[in-house]
Structure 1
Amino acid sequence: MAFALLGLWAAFAAARGLPGEHDNPFWILLPVAPIFLILGYRLRDRGQRYTRATHDLIDRARDGDPEACFQLAAQYLGGEADLHRDDASGRHWLERAVDAGHPKAMIRLAGMLREGQGGGKDPLRAQALLERARLMERPKAGPIRTGPAG
């Protein structure tokens, strides 16, 4: 964008005087003005601008980090940070977190599957995910006894 503005400035500055007139030193910039305009066009921001933290989170999620996938999904679903709300993208990253065994992602995705948020409904899969998450979060010490010791 800066190159495009510099090119426009050079073109307007050069247009204020003719090449034969020496009172305007900007006429020399006229031949390079199109170059700056082309550079500005090619280097313009073509996508969404992300903060460094969001870039790092996306990179970690793409590398398969389950917690990063879950956090990225939460940001998409809530429209947080510098991401626009996008239920389909949130569901995609929850799927990736679930594939990596993230229990909280299983619970969140189960709710989305039950309601059809970000895609189709699948109540059977939602129930299976809730059961899987429950089993993963159960303490490893064994079952809880509620009766008298004996």
Structure 2
Amino acid sequence: MTALDDLPNVDSFFGIDLKTGSMIVAAIGVVHPMAYGCSFFLPISYLLVTIWILVALYFASSIVLFFGLIKDDVLLCSIWLWYALIFVVVMMMMMILLALVFTSRKQRNRVFVVLLGMLWYVLTVYFIMVVNSHRKRILSNTKVNI
């Protein structure tokens, strides 16, 4: 029993079955870093470099999730889940810092983009619940078959 077992269950991903929904989450995790690669935040700061590194690791963990979903491997799905949980918490803190920096510089457009990013990471919590529900199904199916 892990802390992942305490997360709430969902029955579908916006009406789609959990495996397909988890694949969509993995695909979004692969495409998601491209938004940062094409970032229009030109002055590079340590905060942005840290965010880019975290997002690159999220990309790598999404590739791991793809393999976990293809092979129905609970461990690979769990690796993505643990990193995604840490990622969401750290990224929300980074986004708050970024919003404070842009607010102090009176850069309204960038604050708006950061707020949209924060909403995205709130949605990522739902993605985590979808993948975790699928992981639990895989785990229950393997226990029954043994």
Give yes or no for TM over 0.5: no
Higher helix share: 2
**Higher CA-based Rg:** 1
Q: Which has the higher contact order (CA 8 A, sep 6+)?
A: 2
Normalised to the residue count of structure 1, the TM-score between the two structures is 0.28
